[in-house]
């Protein structure tokens, strides 16, 4: 599986199958949006999501908020095929709390992607309704959020109430998934929610 990034004893990415996750979490919202110009990434310090966003030439600005500079440093040293995303000149790095950044930048982004670890410890707040409220406020009208949505085989008790709760805020909420052998049950999901527009079931471009 090549080099592996492990945080707090939990595997985050492996070089062998990381593309399955990175491509889906980035390209689903980006291709569903007709003209994404500004994209925000919360988490994702390994740089893989940045790499995929950078494949979209129409994107003008990419901001990443990562709490831990150490994750970025380790990725640049041991995971160069992921961290190459930082090489794109459109990328701005903020070492800070993503919720705080969004509070300071409302109605600013066309797409927000939250590439979080599992809902344990500090990351648990990223799976709660207040964080989705913050993303909604930071989105422009017509915007899309896409977040790591855990495993539908193991975490229905987390996924169902979260989708129900944020459906009161967002115009449309959906769930997608991809197969990836590294993660539990060989599967990981994505919660996709829109502001002032319909679903993301079909690409817009």
Name the residues annotated as catalytic.
115
SS3 state of residue 92: strand
SS3 state of residue 179: strand
Contact in structure between 10 and 47 (CB atoms under 8 Å): no
Contact in structure between 42 and 131 (CB atoms under 8 Å): no
Work out the number of other CB atoms within 10 angstroms of the CB of residue 87.
13
**Alpha-carbon span 3 to 13, nearest angstrom:** 8
Pairing mode of beta strands 109-115, 38-43: parallel
Contact in structure between 109 and 39 (CB atoms under 8 Å): yes
Write down the residue that tokens 């679903």 correspond to: 199
């Amino acid at each position: 599986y090549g080099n592996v990034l492990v945080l707090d004893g939990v595997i985050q990415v492996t070089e062998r199958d990381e593309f399955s996750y990175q491509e889906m979490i980035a390209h689903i919202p980006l291709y569903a949006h007709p003209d994404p110009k500004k994209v925000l990434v919360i988490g994702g310090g390994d740089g893989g999501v940045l790499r995929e966003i950078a494949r979209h030439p129409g994107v003008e600005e990419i901001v990443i908020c990562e709490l831990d500079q150490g994750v970025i440093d380790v990725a640049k040293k041991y995971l160069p095929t992921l961290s190459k995303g930082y090489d794109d000149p459109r990328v701005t790095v903020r070492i800070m709390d993503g919720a705080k950044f969004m509070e300071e930048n409302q109605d600013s982004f066309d797409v927000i992607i939250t590439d979080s670890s599992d809902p344990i410890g500090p990351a648990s707040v990223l799976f709660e309704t207040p964080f989705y409220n913050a993303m909604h406020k930071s989105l422009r009208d017509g915007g899309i959020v896409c977040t790591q949505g855990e495993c539908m085989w193991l975490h229905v008790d987390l996924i169902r109430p979260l989708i129900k709760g944020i459906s009161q805020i967002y115009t449309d909420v959906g769930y997608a998934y991809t197969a990836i052998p590294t993660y539990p049950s060989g599967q990981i999901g994505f919660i996709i929610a829109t502001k002032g527009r319909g679903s993301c079931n079909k690409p817009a471009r």
